[in-house]
A and B are shown apart, each in its own frame.
Chain A
Amino acid sequence: MSATNMDLLRFATAGSVDDGKSTLIGRLLLDSKSIFEDQLEAVEATSEAKGYDYTDLALLTDGLRSEREQGITIDVAYRYFATPNRKFIIADTPGHVQYTRNMVTGASTADLGLVLVDARQGLTEQSRRHAVILSLLRVPHLVLAVNKMDLVDFDQQVYENIYREFTQFATKLNVPDLEVIPISALQGDNVVTRSENMPWYSGPTLMHHLEHVHVASDRDLIDARFPVQYVIRPKSDEFHDYRGYAGQVAGGVLKPGDEVVVLPSGMTSKIARIDLFDKEITEAFPPMSVTVHLEDDVDVSRGDMIARVKNAPAPSQDIDAMICWMTTTPLQPRQKLAIKHTTRTGRALVKDIQYRLDVNTLHRDQATNELGVNEIGRVTLRTTVPLLCDPYSKNRTTGSFILIDEATGVTVGAGMING
């Protein structure tokens, strides 16, 4: 059993203990044999010491002392499990509105978002918010798990109603791929094995869907984008003239012979060769980390971007973006912050806060002139250096940035560029 040929799915879960999220994650880990005996024994002992009647699988995922003390998940926890063909990285995020920033963080790297609803409650404000955030972060695949079906007698009508209500709501969002799965995390129905209690459901089980959802095509393989991270110059006798531009491919496919432009200078050249460690390769695509050599001796340094001559992002200092604000001091016009976009760092001035988005109702509040912690809004920025960016909807790497408080050094905002 070797992982050498497995592929990878990163998914984010959102929900609270009440939705049965921890039970579901516990079940996925248990059924894929990713929980070890000593881990299980530790939570069994803790559950018993706390006087619970059952083993609280939430204790498996609540890693920090303060979380265990308060019985809530505060921070993003990363969990790992694998089936024979795929490895999974779960970003387990808390569901409450005061932890929106943690959910945004978990969703930023996810291929798939898993939202849980309690079949008895139906869609709640919280589940709508989760779907909105996942769609804002352009998580390409969404799963709505209708949990606790055992508590509604596995009633098809309950599922159908939630299905209808959610698909209607989802038309207002950007959800390219949606699957609605009726489950019972507690009893295991449709989690790994097909439920005998719901013969009316013909779709996949949750695990089957996670194992087979096609994620490779979610990458942009058309628009070549190569942010230069580091210039490799060995300065050794053996590699005297070696000058390679190291980075991780952010979009498209790069090949030797391609005519390329270096931004922001606009100098053009051709790709002479591409190295992957000590081998030359014929093409490089996301998310490979490679080293690119150009035919001409043009000036290239960290923060530059290599793109195709006829398909390059337009450098811009005026940025229109959705921003999730992550710190208690509100974001206000005229504020100055540091900005990091791909491998480029500069400063940004907040020109205007166009509106605050109500993540529960999608209402746009244009009267606002600030964004508080965990709020999301549309903001106009002016940057000191031109950003070599694409709309976030086209490329999640070249379309995203973070904002940093220059005094404290803390990451205070996450931005997704409109276009």
Chain B
Amino acid sequence: MTQTHSDYRLSQLDQLEAESIHIFREVAAEFEKPVLMFSGGKDSIVMMRLAEKAFYPAKIPFPVLQVDTGYDFPEVLATRDNWVDRLGVKLIVASVEQAIKDGIVVDDGKTSRNRLQIGTLLNAIEENGFTAAFGGGRRDEEKARAKERVYSHRDEFGQWDPKMQRPELWSLYNGRIHEGEHMRIFPISNWTELDIWDYIGREGIEIPSIYFSHQRRVFQRDGMLLSESEHNPLRDGEVAEERTVRFRTVGDLTLTGCVESTASTIPEIIEEVAVARVTERGATRGDDRFSEAAMEDRKKEGYF
């Protein structure tokens, strides 16, 4: 048996874990058809770990859903498959490519894959009849997220109305929805980027290799270092060169920048994050840069 603390003290990481597990169990008990939105990124991996712990030794009682932009990093897809295999959960892949072919979303050549994910995701939620979708959003990420509830109500169009949010008190979550509506659930709302890394380090769980320092051919665009790729043809004046880099977030590879870094272990990453002077999204996410309210606007439309 494991000895617990004699002074009944729980570290902040244990408290965050306990809160998140409570949320997972609450949703599994109260919603008919939950799903976990799994990108293969570090936040969704922490969610998977928490879900694993919440229901152990039973399997996670809901499927995981990945929105495949067609521009995902192969390393991320490999990690996704390992997690899904190990936990024996059902994986549903909603493909942006397929959504474009089916006319569900329109690729006008200007809209990013990130934005096309919204329609693809909402269609997958509707088609499968999901009533609750877990997302890995954290409140420290961005201003609009700082005000979002753990249970975030979406109307039948998948929209978020920041002015009509339900009050959320104590640990009493209100999961009432009408036909056609669904709830986004953010079980790691109160975790910070540093907490995520501390937890990954403590739990010793697998994350995609691109989070660690590696050699990669990259080029500069809009102040970001992007990966050279067939999906991301070089424009006039852009030159690719090999650098030592790692990714702070993973998303659509045409929009997700990397940072120059030699951090090749979790403690080194924690060290780097602790002294970072720029938010992870500000540094490396083209999708959040378009306006001060970029995230708020995408969230209203039904983004993660």
Q: Interface on A for B, CB 8 Å cutoff? A: 1-8, 36-39, 42, 46, 60-66, 68, 74-80, 82, 86-87, 89, 101-102, 104-105, 108-109, 216, 219, 221, 229-230, 232-236, 238-239, 242, 246-248, 253, 275-285, 287-289, 291, 302, 326, 338, 340-341, 343, 396-397, 400-402, 404, 409-411, 414
Contact = CB atoms under 8 A, between A and B. Distances in A.
B124 interface: no
Given A105-B167, A230-B55, A242-B57, 9 more contacts: A62-B143, A66-B163, A75-B162, A229-B29, A230-B28, A248-B18, A288-B18, A338-B176, A397-B171
Contact of B25 (A62, A80, A230): A230
B92 to A, nearest CB: 22
Query: What is the predominant secondary structure among interface residues of chain A facing chain B?
Result: mixed
A230 B277 CA distance: 42
Contacts of A66: 162-163
A96 to B, nearest CB: 16
A304 to B, nearest CB: 12
Contacts of A77: 146-147
A130 B15 CA distance: 27
A253 B8 contact: yes
A283 B4 CA distance: 7
Contacts of A288: 10, 14, 18
Contacts of A79: 140, 146
A78 B282 CA distance: 19
Nearest to A235: B58
- Sorted from nearest, which 4 A-B pairs have the closest CB atoms? A409-B176, A38-B282, A63-B143, A8-B12
A289 B25 contact: yes
A242 B55 CA distance: 12
Contacts of B57: 232, 234, 236, 238-239, 242, 278
Interface string B276-294: 1111001100000000110
Contact of B58 (A232, A253, A396): A232
26 contacts: A4-B11, A7-B12, A38-B282, A42-B292, A63-B145, A64-B143, A64-B162, A74-B163, A78-B139, A104-B167, A105-B168, A105-B169, A109-B171, A229-B29, A230-B29, A234-B58, A236-B58, A238-B57, A239-B57, A246-B25, A248-B21, A278-B56, A285-B8, A288-B10, A289-B19, A291-B56
Contacts of A109: 169-171
Contacts of A276: 2
A43 to B, nearest CB: 10
Contacts of A1: 270-271, 274
Interface stretch (B34-42, B110-118, B125-133, B191-199): B191-199
B15 A63 contact: no
Interface of B: 1-4, 7-19, 21-22, 25-26, 28-29, 53-59, 139-140, 143-147, 162-163, 165-172, 174, 176-178, 189-190, 192, 194-195, 198, 201-202, 267, 270-271, 274, 276-279, 282-283, 292-293, 296
A332 to B, nearest CB: 20
A239 B19 CA distance: 26
Which among B57, B162, B177, B270 has the greatest number of chain A C-beta atoms within 10 A? B57
A46 to B, nearest CB: 7
A409 B177 contact: yes
A322 B28 CA distance: 31
Contacts of B7: 216
A404 to B, nearest CB: 6
Given A338-B176, A411-B166, A234 B59 contact: yes
A65 B53 CA distance: 38
A61 B143 CA distance: 7
Contacts of A238: 57
Contacts of A340: 172, 174
A116 B145 CA distance: 26
B77 to A, nearest CB: 27
A282 B2 contact: yes
A127 to B, nearest CB: 23
A39 B142 CA distance: 9
B190 A89 contact: yes
B37 to A, nearest CB: 21
Contacts of B53: 277
A112 to B, nearest CB: 15
B176 A280 contact: no
A101 B168 CA distance: 10
B19 A287 contact: yes
A7 B194 contact: no
Nearest to B274: A1
A82 B197 CA distance: 15
Contacts of B267: 2
A371 B7 CA distance: 43
Nearest to B16: A8
A341 B171 CA distance: 10
A383 B21 CA distance: 29
